[in-house]
Structure 1
């Protein structure tokens, strides 16, 4: 059913839940390839000095993202899955949709945490916004 699965992983509790559920789905479907994506948001304006992001801040953030990604890929491989990690930069919805199109993914898996109405109003949900742009099915692993 799903042969190419894109898992979105950020190391959070929700991301770990999505990783587990996505790995379960990949095993059940005998997916040919499982891809893991970590997206680094662009740094906030306070980190920019005279229009330039200090290299040490960018390098540190990139190293942290790579560690999280490598951890996730290792967990997938422990489950016997063929897994490859990808690191993207920018807005999560745009990067997830673009990566799914590029990989010709059959399924995107990501985590979601229920939030208060105020929190949802303040910041839109990645999973809800992704529905509009995704080129394939989406599995949203919901945690409390």
Structure 2
């Protein structure tokens, strides 16, 4: 198994991002790796919904996104992990691959959201392209299945509370 000395955790505050942060933190602790956390404010929303979003002050959105990054860093610190935070505005695929290259990371950890092909196409997402843009390993965390994702399951969905 390759040694992962420098890990980039991608965190956006979503359930999937929380799983990526948690799983990446466990791995980083085990390997005693240097940890970087990246939060990307996706600017495609600004292009697609310019009329609606233009009514929202840019500073408010940026500050909110930066607070998500701070939240992730605090969760890691609570586990005794010191991590360096990075914030970017742009296309997440471009920003993740750019930061991975610049930081010379050995591993990128991202969360995965189960969606249909139609939903991915409609949303304009090409998640698979990340693998084509980086030269390091990528760990895609799935997180536990919820009752909503498993038809007929009798258990209720649990949210990720803390790391």
TM-score normalised by the chain length of structure 1? 0.88
Quick check: 19-28 or 37-46, which moved more? Answer: 37-46
- Residue 16 of structure 2 corresponds to which residue in structure 1? 14
- Residue 7 of structure 2 corresponds to which residue in structure 1? 5
- Is 1:47 paired with 2:53? no
**Between structures 1 and 2, the one with greater helix share:** 1
CA distance in structure 2 between the partners assigned to 1:17 and 1:45 by the alignment: 28
**Deviations 1:85-143 (Å, cap 9, x if unpaired)?**
100111000100000111110100010111123113323243x1100001210000114
- Residue 38 of structure 1 corresponds to which residue in structure 2? 39
Question: 1:24-35 counterparts in 2 under 5 A?
Answer: 24-31=26-33, 33-35=34-36
CA distance in structure 2 between the partners assigned to 1:124 and 1:76 by the alignment: 28
Shift of 1:45: 4.6
Structure 2: gaps (5+ residues): 146-163
Quick check: 99-108 or 75-84, which moved more? Answer: 75-84
Structure number with bigger Rg: 2
Quick check: 69-78 or 117-126, which moved more? Answer: 117-126
Partner of 1:44: helix, strand, or coil? Answer: helix
Partner of 2:111: helix, strand, or coil? Answer: strand
The structure 1 segments of at least 4 consecutive aligned residues displaced by more than 6 Å after TM superposition are none
**Deviations 1:31-50 (Å, cap 9, x if unpaired)?**
1x21100011112354369x
- Residue 86 of structure 1 corresponds to which residue in structure 2? 86
Question: 1:37-76 counterparts in 2 under 5 A?
Answer: 37-42=38-43, 43-47=46-50, 57-76=57-76
- Residue 130 of structure 1 corresponds to which residue in structure 2? 130
Give the number of equivalent residue pairs: 138
CA distance in structure 2 between the partners assigned to 1:79 and 1:3 by the alignment: 18
CA distance in structure 2 between the partners assigned to 1:48 and 1:117 by the alignment: 28
Shift of 1:59: 0.5
CA distance in structure 2 between the partners assigned to 1:118 and 1:12 by the alignment: 21
